[in-house]
A and B are shown apart, each in its own frame.
Chain A
Amino acid sequence: MITDFVKAKRLLVQLIDERMKQAAYSNAVMVSHAKNIRIYEGDKLGSAQEDGESEIDSLRQIEESISISSEEMENLTMDDFLKKIEEMGAKMGGQMEQGMIEALNNSIEKSGNVITGHKTISEEALLEMTEKLPIDFKDDDREQPIMPNLYVGPEQVPVIKKMMEAQTKEEADEFLRRQNKILDKKHEEYMTELKARKIIE
């Protein structure tokens, strides 16, 4: 063989790995916001709830591949190669996101935490969602609600944009007023729940 540069290759693999992961997380916005927990041992994740119900998740494997023909190899530049890696990363991110959405949908269906009666996203739907979701408050401060992230499909983005552009000042103020009323109630529930946590005899 012609001598190789193994350490340099190793470094390159590391850099490529990082680029792939960045591409994956860029295409998996929900996943990138989710809490990361490292599995140090074992092959199952179990979760028990206060009502005693528990479930076990087995780990899922995600894989993607790239192929480079010998003709492509002749003229392959580093930029071309990185582009392929990023495409692969994006696909893996898509798989991760898909897996997460499936898991969420199953969970949501089980819990019944669904709002119905809205053909598309609207102010009413947003308010109804805010009403249903548990909301925490940073430092228990009413003025610092930790609002949930809204994840929508790409087809909903122009709908939301149109909705916001069409909104008048009065409609915006009314929306805020109604949202604040919901947050007032949420804060009250939140503080009541906090105070309910205690040691009893």
Chain B
Amino acid sequence: MRIVDKIKTTLNLITRKGAKLERFKVDRRINTIHDPFISKAITNWLHTVNEGSYQPVFCEWLKLNGHIIKSSIKNTNFEQGKDVISIDENNVIHAFQLKGGKITLDRWRREVRPEIDILIDGGIQYPGIPRDSNFVPYLVTNSDIAENVRSEIQSLNDKKWKDNPLHIVEKGDLNAYFQSMSQGFLPDSLAEYKQLVELMVANGEDFVDVGPIFNFLNDNFVKREKVVYMQIRRDIASVVLYVNLMMGTYLEKNNYISCIRILAVGISTILYMADHYSLKDSHWVGSYKLLWEEMMDLSKQLETYISDSSVAERFPGPFDRFLMEPRRHAASSVIFSLKIAEFLMGDSNWKKMDDEHYLKDYKNSFYQWSEASYVPIILGIALMDAIKAPNSEKSNRVAIEMICKQLIDALGRKVDKPSIDPIYVDLYAHMNEVASLNKKIQDEKEDNRLNSYILESIILMLVRLGSRTFLEKEWVEISHFRLSEFIYENENDVYKYRNDSGEIRTRPLSKVQSWKKLEESLGAYDTNKIPNSLKRFPEFIPYLLVVYPHRINATYLKFLLSKLDSKAKIQ
């Protein structure tokens, strides 16, 4: 019998009648995966996070054990005492109240007990589930429950709650559950431990380098050959666990941007596996949604932080002022992605983009270092154009023309040396170079003049916005460029930070270009070049492009624009 099946069988032995206080059982004898390091890592992580942060991992564990998550609520005023509702393979309903921190007697009486009363007495209120359905209630905490609290719960289970006794899950249990998720990958050598430790103990205030995150997930979950479906399922669960472990130090510091970057890499890994193995929805969509909702939640928290705090608070010291531009750029990039995602998903919060007062926080947040700098602005212009924001038509055109002119001035034929880096140099790499004063020896300095990965996308936007006069004027300069593009061996490779195989292709622009043909090409793109998962969840595209700016190309931009336009028509 497989380990997971044994665990499931044990879980389903929970009874309710005449129940003593019972835990959500895990037979630790069967759980042969006990890696002291992973155990410590999970313990440390659980110690630093609140219930909102371990909730996605808890849900993932439930799913790995055959549960269907019906509801997973975070940060809501609607209080029915249930954070998570699930149904197991035997159609038993489970309702969980998640808490962070130790449950002392005072806390139990003041805060938790009233919620548990609602949990147990309130019944399940969920579409499709009859209100009077039986269910198993749980109190879950990432810390401990005080002995005197347990006594009270025991007493209540014997009397008031005897028909539906409360089960408890504490940090030791959560540790065991989450350890079982790490089966997808356990460090085998000291080098692997070191890799994981470095990722988990990074300075939480820093802008995270996505390269090592990708390498860790790619080496341990993507590259390894899968033999059975269950292995893929476990790997996806492990991705969810490890992404959350790696986010720990950043979450502690409320470093939303770095958390979002890690989540984007995690989501990319899951989507890659989903498409690569043509997984059924039940095998991956739930996990994708867990990480997606976390990412959206953190994006909104960033938005709130930006609007709530003053400039002085955000940039208190001299070094902060000096680094203000790249930091604002990093923040704006996330916000533009958030707004596009909200618009595509029908979340009315996107309407803040119409508000001049809201936009003032993001004006002048452009920082130029490479072609990658332009990606968030292009996305922002795309949204503003699709929603036809008031007074935006002219400013959109001016903005995209300014970007094009900057590109010509930086990499054009009249330039002696390139003044911006190619698109592959992201903000992390750039700031590293600036800080270490790393001067490449002259002979090795890259010369990316008249080569551009982003020019095709810029031309696309210029045509869309009707900048014919500008293009006519600048075509002499623009047409000297060669358009660069990475050609994937497989369309799913877009989800990878780097690919070992594939072709970097350059092609010239036409010296004589028909405006009509440019217009006709606006809507023409090859859908086969877009992974199925991305067609299904286009709201992930802006986040993918902001974290992996080198993935922008005309195909993805046209696809995103088509989605924005379709949504705009409905709106």
A residues adjacent to B (C-beta < 8 A) = 18, 21-22, 25, 32, 35-50, 54, 56, 136, 138-139, 193-201
Question: In the bound complex, do residue B506 and residue A198 qualify as a contact, i.e. CB atoms below 8 Å apart?
Answer: no
Question: In the bound complex, do residue A201 and residue B424 qualify as a contact, i.e. CB atoms below 8 Å apart?
Answer: no
Residues in B neighbouring A201, C-beta threshold 8 A: 514-516
A89–B181 Cα distance when bound, in Å, is 51
Tell yes or no: B510 within 8 A of A by CB: yes
Tell yes or no: B486 within 8 A of A by CB: yes
Out of A39, A54, A136, name the residue touching B504 (CB < 8 Å): A39
Out of B487, B498, B508, B510, name the residue touching A46 (CB < 8 Å): B487
Out of B424, B479, B504, B550, name the residue touching A45 (CB < 8 Å): B504
Residues in A neighbouring B501, C-beta threshold 8 A: 42-44
Residues in A neighbouring B449, C-beta threshold 8 A: 35
Question: In the bound complex, do residue B447 and residue A197 qualify as a contact, i.e. CB atoms below 8 Å apart?
Answer: no
A197–B516 Cα distance when bound, in Å, is 16
Given contacts A21-B444, A44-B501, 18 further A-B contacts (CB under 8 A): A18-B441, A21-B441, A22-B443, A37-B451, A38-B446, A40-B422, A41-B498, A41-B499, A42-B502, A42-B503, A50-B510, A54-B505, A56-B503, A197-B511, A198-B512, A199-B518, A200-B512, A201-B516
Tell yes or no: B562 within 8 A of A by CB: no
Question: In the bound complex, do residue A200 and residue B515 qualify as a contact, i.e. CB atoms below 8 Å apart?
Answer: yes
Among B14-70, those with CB < 8 Å from A are none
A44–B487 Cα distance when bound, in Å, is 10
Out of A21, A44, A50, name the residue touching B503 (CB < 8 Å): A44
Question: In the bound complex, do residue A40 and residue B506 qualify as a contact, i.e. CB atoms below 8 Å apart?
Answer: no
B306: min CB distance to chain A, Å: 32
Residues in A neighbouring B514, C-beta threshold 8 A: 199-201
A164–B226 Cα distance when bound, in Å, is 71
Question: In the bound complex, do residue B446 and residue A36 qualify as a contact, i.e. CB atoms below 8 Å apart?
Answer: yes
Tell yes or no: B475 within 8 A of A by CB: yes
Residues in B neighbouring A136, C-beta threshold 8 A: 413
Question: In the bound complex, do residue A196 and residue B443 qualify as a contact, i.e. CB atoms below 8 Å apart?
Answer: no
Question: In the bound complex, do residue B447 and residue A40 qualify as a contact, i.e. CB atoms below 8 Å apart?
Answer: no
* Residue among A32, A46, A193, A195 with max Cβ neighbours from chain B (10 Å): A46
A25–B443 Cα distance when bound, in Å, is 7
B residues adjacent to A (C-beta < 8 A) = 413-414, 422, 424, 441, 443-449, 451, 468, 471-472, 475-476, 479-480, 486-487, 498-508, 510-516, 518, 550
B448: min CB distance to chain A, Å: 7
Residues in A neighbouring B445, C-beta threshold 8 A: 36
A26: min CB distance to chain B, Å: 9
B427: min CB distance to chain A, Å: 15
Work out how many contacts link A and B, with CB atoms closer than 8 A: 107
Question: In the bound complex, do residue B503 and residue A196 qualify as a contact, i.e. CB atoms below 8 Å apart?
Answer: no
* Residue among A39, A42, A44, A194 with max Cβ neighbours from chain B (10 Å): A42
Out of A21, A37, A56, A198, name the residue touching B446 (CB < 8 Å): A37
B142: min CB distance to chain A, Å: 39
Residues in A neighbouring B475, C-beta threshold 8 A: 197-199
A17–B471 Cα distance when bound, in Å, is 46
Question: In the bound complex, do residue A41 and residue B502 qualify as a contact, i.e. CB atoms below 8 Å apart?
Answer: yes
Closest 5 CB pairs of A and B: A46-B505, A42-B502, A48-B507, A40-B424, A44-B503
A190: min CB distance to chain B, Å: 12
Residues in A neighbouring B515, C-beta threshold 8 A: 199-201
* Residue among B503, B506, B518 with max Cβ neighbours from chain A (10 Å): B503
B412: min CB distance to chain A, Å: 12
A39–B480 Cα distance when bound, in Å, is 22
A195–B512 Cα distance when bound, in Å, is 10
Question: In the bound complex, do residue A35 and residue B447 qualify as a contact, i.e. CB atoms below 8 Å apart?
Answer: yes
In the complex, the chain B residue whose C-beta lies closest to that of A28 is: B443
Given contacts A37-B451, A139-B414, A197-B476, contact A48 B550 (CB under 8 A): no
Residues in B neighbouring A22, C-beta threshold 8 A: 441, 443
Residues in B neighbouring A36, C-beta threshold 8 A: 443-447
Residues in A neighbouring B472, C-beta threshold 8 A: 198-199
* Residue among A32, A41, A48 with max Cβ neighbours from chain B (10 Å): A41
Question: In the bound complex, do residue A47 and residue B506 qualify as a contact, i.e. CB atoms below 8 Å apart?
Answer: yes
In the complex, the chain B residue whose C-beta lies closest to that of A17 is: B441
Given contacts A41-B500, A42-B503, contact A48 B476 (CB under 8 A): no
Out of B451, B476, B513, name the residue touching A194 (CB < 8 Å): B476
Residues in B neighbouring A42, C-beta threshold 8 A: 486-487, 499-504
Question: In the bound complex, do residue B443 and residue A199 qualify as a contact, i.e. CB atoms below 8 Å apart?
Answer: no
* Residue among A35, A56, A195 with max Cβ neighbours from chain B (10 Å): A35
Residues in B neighbouring A39, C-beta threshold 8 A: 504
B513: min CB distance to chain A, Å: 5
Out of B441, B480, B487, B508, name the residue touching A50 (CB < 8 Å): B508
In the complex, the chain A residue whose C-beta lies closest to that of B444 is: A36
Residues in B neighbouring A25, C-beta threshold 8 A: 443
Question: In the bound complex, do residue A199 and residue B447 qualify as a contact, i.e. CB atoms below 8 Å apart?
Answer: no
A162–B508 Cα distance when bound, in Å, is 43
Question: In the bound complex, do residue A48 and residue B441 qualify as a contact, i.e. CB atoms below 8 Å apart?
Answer: no
* Residue among B472, B500, B504 with max Cβ neighbours from chain A (10 Å): B504
B422: min CB distance to chain A, Å: 7
Question: In the bound complex, do residue B506 and residue A46 qualify as a contact, i.e. CB atoms below 8 Å apart?
Answer: yes
Question: In the bound complex, do residue A38 and residue B422 qualify as a contact, i.e. CB atoms below 8 Å apart?
Answer: yes
Residues in B neighbouring A54, C-beta threshold 8 A: 505, 507
In the complex, the chain A residue whose C-beta lies closest to that of B416 is: A138
In the complex, the chain A residue whose C-beta lies closest to that of B449 is: A35
Residues in B neighbouring A43, C-beta threshold 8 A: 500-503
A41–B480 Cα distance when bound, in Å, is 25
In the complex, the chain A residue whose C-beta lies closest to that of B421 is: A38
A197–B475 Cα distance when bound, in Å, is 7
A21–B445 Cα distance when bound, in Å, is 13
